[in-house]
Amino acid sequence: MKHFTKLAAAAVLGATLGTAAVAQELYAPNLAYRTGPFAATGIPLMNGQADYFAMLNARDGGVGGIKVNAEECETGYSTEKGVECYEKTKGRSIVTQPWSTGITLQVLPKTNVDEIPILAPGYGFSPMADGKVFQWAFNTPSGYWDAASMILQYLQDENGSLDGKKIAFLHLDHPYGKEPLPLLEKKAGELNFELLPIPVGLKEMQNQSAQWLQIRRERPDYVVMWGWGAMNAGAITEAVKTKYPMENFIGVWWAGHDADLKIVGADGAGYKSISWSFPNPEAPVMADIQKYVVDAGLSQSNPEEMAGVFYGRGVVISAILAEGIAAAQNEFGVAEIDASQLRWGLENINMTEERIEELGLTGMVPPFATSCANHTGHSGGWMLEWDGEQFVKVSDHMLPDTSDYQQLIADKAAEYAEANAPWPTNEDCNVGG
């Protein structure tokens, strides 16, 4: 009995200390994909994300004095594994980062019940921009419809008009690849261009000769690509092989990875990618990452990768999350915020030019602000071009014409809510607020 009492006391003490130890951090898990067919895209992004939080933890003791545990749960970009990871981590997480449109769509209804914000920077379901309907979901700082809008705007500026043009839409045959279709179809009618959707199956990513034969036969004026992982390298090499003019080939931001273009090198010169982030090795934040993370042997990255677009984007993504955490901490006066407080923080990010400078992210992300109703921020971005060795900016800061699809966002959000009824909405949220 005496033994039992001692054991029980030890267990209680251990549990208390354990709880205290666990409580001294903010748990912000990342549903990473460093393995599988999409790993080539995932690794630099995950490294950038991890290194930023490692730097904050080492330099500032975390955010607001509390360390951030950005533990990864490996999904291999598989929707099933992603849902498992969500279930495994949701108990103590303040945010979930699903990293695939497929996983995002699966966990979207769950987060409403579990009340955990989804942070899906630059991906996910485009109508998530409507914060009134999707109160727990954020696709900050730009969504896929923003990307489609900017690409069409760029092509219009280049041609004067898209009237009579033919645009092939080469996309992964996956929820992600189909995301911009509603807007592209709408704009094809309005601007009188012919839209030619060309799907690429997951098993055909590296052998796209049929898709590029179709492109050769149809002779589109432009090819717009929504590719991910190995699909991008496959498409770019086929484009070179079939002698498609690279200057007429534009990808979304996930199709603008340096490693994919290095396979073709100078032959890929002229290829473009719209992007809401840009790598800046000279930015102060990169010097801090070098000092506190790389030099300390805590980084999994390498200098070549760190100079690339995707690593820089990973850094920006973690910076956005850290800004959301900081905003919540300031509002609620506590360092150890919970998931609902983080939601408030993510709804009140204000990345002004000054704040971007202050964070050391000079030139790496355009300014944007979120609100209760606007969960995207619509930061806009830059058109990047591969010059044969690296991506360079070939446009000024572009902004999407959101007026074009505000109604589409509202309609599709309402459609989703109705299909998933009863779907709780945030009635306190005023549109525009």
Q: Which residues bind another protein (CB under 8 A)?
A: 34-40, 42-44, 173, 197-207, 209-211, 213-214, 216-217, 229-230, 233-234, 237, 241-243, 259-260, 262-263, 305
Q: Which is nearer to another protein, 212 or 368 (CB)?
A: 212
Q: How far is the CB of 416 from another protein (least distance, A)?
A: 24
Spatial neighbors of 402 by CB under 8 A, at least 6 apart, are 146, 149, 378
Q: How far is the CB of 379 from another protein (least distance, A)?
A: 28
Q: Which is nearer to another protein, 72 or 260 (CB)?
A: 260
Q: How far is the CB of 205 from another protein (least distance, A)?
A: 6
Half-sphere exposure (Cβ direction) of 427: Cα atoms closer than 13 Å: 2
Q: How far is the CB of 344 from another protein (least distance, A)?
A: 36
Q: How far is the CB of 75 from another protein (least distance, A)?
A: 13
Q: Which is nearer to another protein, 206 or 362 (CB)?
A: 206
Q: How far is the CB of 155 from another protein (least distance, A)?
A: 23
DSSP string, 390-424: SEEE-S--B---GGGTHHHHHHHHHHHHHHT-S--
126: amino acid identity, one letter: S
CA distance 181 to 195: 10
Q: How far is the CB of 363 from another protein (least distance, A)?
A: 25
Q: Is the peptide bond before 199 cis (omega within 30 degrees of 0)?
A: no
What is the three-class DSSP state of 258?
helix
127: amino acid identity, one letter: P
CA distance 142 to 183: 15
Q: How far is the CB of 207 from another protein (least distance, A)?
A: 6
Spatial neighbors of 111 by CB under 8 A, at least 6 apart, are 96, 117, 118, 136, 137
Q: How far is the CB of 210 from another protein (least distance, A)?
A: 4
Q: How far is the CB of 345 from another protein (least distance, A)?
A: 32
Spatial neighbors of 230 by CB under 8 A, at least 6 apart, are 37, 38, 40, 205, 206
What beta strand segments (E) does 37-163 contain?
A: 67-69, 118-119, 137-138
Q: Which is nearer to another protein, 205 or 356 (CB)?
A: 205
Q: Which is nearer to another protein, 166 or 355 (CB)?
A: 166
Q: Which is nearer to another protein, 177 or 366 (CB)?
A: 177
Q: Which is nearer to another protein, 234 or 324 (CB)?
A: 234
299: amino acid identity, one letter: S
Q: Which is nearer to another protein, 88 or 216 (CB)?
A: 216
- Dihedral angle over CA of 402, 408, 411, 415, nearest 10: -120
Q: How far is the CB of 233 from another protein (least distance, A)?
A: 5
Nearest to 343, CA basis, from 69, 26, 113, 131? 131
Q: Which is nearer to another protein, 40 or 191 (CB)?
A: 40
What is the three-class DSSP state of 20?
helix
Q: What is the CA radius of gyration of the chain?
A: 22
Q: Locate tokens 């043009």: which residue? A: 165
Rama region for 28: left / alpha / beta (φ>0; ψ in -120 to 50; rest): beta
Q: Which is nearer to another protein, 41 or 149 (CB)?
A: 41
Burial of 149: CB neighbours in 10 Å, binned 0-12, 13-18, 19+:
buried
Pairing of strands 272-275, 382-386: antiparallel
Spatial neighbors of 335 by CB under 8 A, at least 6 apart, are 64, 65, 66, 329
Q: Which is nearer to another protein, 150 or 239 (CB)?
A: 239
